[in-house]
Amino acid sequence: MSQHGFRRTPGGVSSVGLHVVWCLKYRRRILACRVTPRCGGLLEHIAVERGWQIVAKKVMPDHVHLFVRVGLAEAAAWVVTTLMGRTARILRQEFPYLRNHAKVLLWSLSYFAASVDYLRSRRCAATSSISGMRVTAA
C-alpha cells in the first residue's frame, strides 16, 4: 500500500476501508488481561498475512472494533469471518478457560461491517483512534 492508503494493481488504484464490530457470544466479558493483547496481536498477524492494513483497533472485554483497509476483491463478510474464525481457534487453544465459558462458539455469529470513505479513513489514520469514528446512514 502506498503512503496515502491506496492499493495499486495492474487494473487500477483503490482504497477500500471497513469499519467492523463483532461481539463475544452472549456478550460475556471474558477478554481480560492476557487475552486482550494476544487478540490484538493475532488480528495484526492475520492482517499482515492477508495483505490488509489495520488502521485502528480496540479490543474490549466483550467486543472488538476494527478499522481495516482491504483489497477490492475481498468481501466484508469474508474479511470478518476470516478474522473471527482464526482468532477464535487460536485463543481457545492458548487459553483453555475460554473453552469453559464458550462451549461451542467464542464469537457471536452476528457482526457489523460498513465501508468507510477515503476522507474519513485518512482522519482515522491521523488520530489512530476508533473512538471518533461515526458511521452515518445516507
Closest CA to 67 of 8, 5, 21, 100: 21
Q: What is the CATH number of the domain that holds 121?
A: 3.30.70.1290
For the chain, the domain total comes to 1
> DSSP alpha helices (H): ranges in 69-115?
76-94, 97-101
Report residue 32 as a C-alpha cell.
Answer: 481480560
Tell me how many degrees the CA angle 67-37-77 measures, rounded to the nearest 5: 35
Percentage of the chain modeled with pLDDT above 70: 72
8 Å CB contact between 56 and 122: no
Question: Would you say residue 132 lies in a domain?
Answer: no
Question: Would you say residue 138 lies in a domain?
Answer: no
Question: Would you say residue 60 lies in a domain?
Answer: yes
- Chain-wide mean pLDDT for the chain? 77
* Residue 26, domain extent: 7-127
SS3 (DSSP) at 137 = coil
pLDDT (tens digit per residue) in 32-89: 778 888 988 999 999 999 989 898 888 888 888 999 988 877 888 999 999 999 998 8
Question: Would you say residue 82 lies in a domain?
Answer: yes
Which residues contact residue 135 at a Cβ distance below 8 angstroms, ignoring those fewer than 6 apart? Answer: 19, 114, 116
Question: Would you say residue 133 lies in a domain?
Answer: no
